[in-house]
Amino acid sequence: MLLPIYIDGVQEGTLTVERQGALTVMRADMRDVGRVVRLSVFGEKSGYLGVPEPQEGRLRLTRRFTNLDMLRLPARIEYAAEGPLPGKNVRPAPPKEPETREEKRHVLWMGGKPYYF
């Protein structure tokens, strides 16, 4: 599957996503824009890919993800970019629940039993 890579709203390259056995391999190939680029993928949520390295006058990145790693990425990837494109609705992560008093307890293990205080 070929997906666009956008930098500052302009398509600068492509992201190839393919399955290789138990792995999903993502290869980014884009024009050298003259600065460090931190690529993320976007869909119903976002996920960080990494920083492409200069190779032969272009920026390239290869990442291999296991099935477990893929859970952190969108199930359906639409594009790659430094940040979400204007007008694209990327759902933010749900707010974190406040810590409860029980989570703040200290545990001391003695004789194979937990003692909470």
Decide if pLDDT at 94 tops 90: no
Q: What is the C-alpha to C-alpha distance for residues 111 and 106, in angstroms, rounded to an integer?
A: 16
Query: Domains of the chain: which residue ranges?
Result: 2-81
pLDDT digits (tens, 9 = 90+) for 44-81: 888 889 999 999 889 999 999 888 777 788 888 889 99
Measured between alpha carbons, how far is residue 49 from residues 9, 64, 89 in Å?
18, 10, 19
Mean pLDDT value of segment 81-102: 59
Closest CA to 80 of 35, 36, 31, 43: 43
The total of other beta-carbon atoms located within 10 Å of residue 58's CB is 15
Structure tokens at 15: 């992201």
